[in-house]
Amino acid sequence: MSSVARSTACLPMAVKMTNARDQYYMAEAIALAKKGLMTTSPNPRVGCVLVKDDVVVGRGYHLRAGEGHAEVNALADAGVNAQGCTAYVTLEPCSHTGRTGPCCQALANAGVARVVVAMQDPNPQVGGSGLQYLRDQGIAVDVGVLEQQARALNPGFIRRMTHGLPLVTAKLASSVDGRTAMASGESQWITGPAARTQVQQLRARSCAIITGIGSILLDDSSLTLRRDELGLDAELSEQVVRRQPIRVVLDSRLRMPLSAKILRQTGRTIIAYHYADAERLEALSNAGAELVQLPLRDGHVDGLALLRWLAEQQQCNEVLLETGSQLAGGWLQQGLIDRLKIFMAPKLLGSQARPLFTLPLAAMSEQVELAIDDIRAVGDDWLISAAPVYSTPL
């Protein structure tokens, strides 16, 4: 489960292009798609560039679910200049009608002569139908330009489409000696303001933030996006905070206090539980919580069942796990964490402080290997990006 499996399906007529001009314009489409990194959930991030006679005549990207897709926005930008142009799109144009119409049809109706696509739709039920529609209209189609860069835009969407699970990133903050809080539970603040801005941006690109009831009882966390900590310009910050990620609390016995701050925030708070009486359920529901009953595993709410529910019922692509060492350790042992974002502060908290993960390992043969792909400075702290290496991925 540490990496997103790549779909092996491809169309017989798909051609992998290496043309430098195609790569140039596709790179611009990918840059446009990144503008929706924090706003498109649960939809994928998509960019589109329309080119005619080596001149860009239209640009568009998807900003928010229910609003115009990248292709439609680019066509509107181009107007009559779309006739006879080449469209560069980071993801296969959709072929179905949802809250917006089919983009493949819009491209054909506009008279686009050629469509270059970075990657096919990963949904096995629909992947390829948009490309085939374009071909059936006599439009030239090429697939595979900067595919890896395009896949990196939507790792969670790809995972949900191919595995029925969201991509899980665990965010942790520690001292250099791997401690997350003092023995008393005191933890604010280990890392500095630059790291906290990075955490806000991780939250912003997530569909849901998951924590355990222990963290709520200890810190009374809100788990919200805060406009003044996002580190973005005012207009983008306003767009981002309009979509607060779903807040999910694992609370098997419904110990959530009715006075908890997390129940008083804008957006949705979901409590995943197993045991409860009707009176407690009613009280929490009246306090603003949504409740979902799930099975137990080893005495705790089953994490895999929760993730499947989030993917299937809530269309969650990427989720952020922000919690203490016990839940983080349990999920790591079960293979439920795909990515780790560890913010490390230049501090020592000592041997009595709490560890990053509660992992009852007794032998070197039980060690958990990490594949580190990036280490960088974030203010006075360091950010380590890594993936657990599982012997049997889910």
Enzyme catalytic residues: 71
Provide the strand spans (E) within the chain.
47-52, 55-61, 86-89, 114-117, 140-143, 167-175, 179-181, 208-212, 246-250, 269-273, 289-293, 296-297, 300-301, 318-322, 339-345, 354-355, 370-378, 381-388
C-alpha to C-alpha distance for 4 and 6, rounded to whole angstroms: 6
CB 81 within 8 A of CB 115: no
Q: Helices (DSSP H) in the chain: which residue ranges? A: 20-33, 70-78, 103-109, 129-136, 147-151, 155-163, 193-204, 213-219, 234-241, 278-286, 303-314, 325-333
Closest CA to 118 of 147, 152, 142: 147
Q: What angle do CA 278, 217, 198 make, to 5 degrees?
A: 120
Measure the N-to-C terminal CA separation of the chain; round to a whole number of Å. 5
**DSSP bridge partners of 297:** 300
Closest CA to 41 of 233, 262, 235, 209: 209
Q: Which tokens hold the place of 233? A: 């310009």
Q: Which tokens hold the place of 185? A: 């539970």
Q: Which tokens hold the place of 386? A: 């890594």
Whether a cis peptide bond, with omega within 30° of 0, leads into 189 is yes
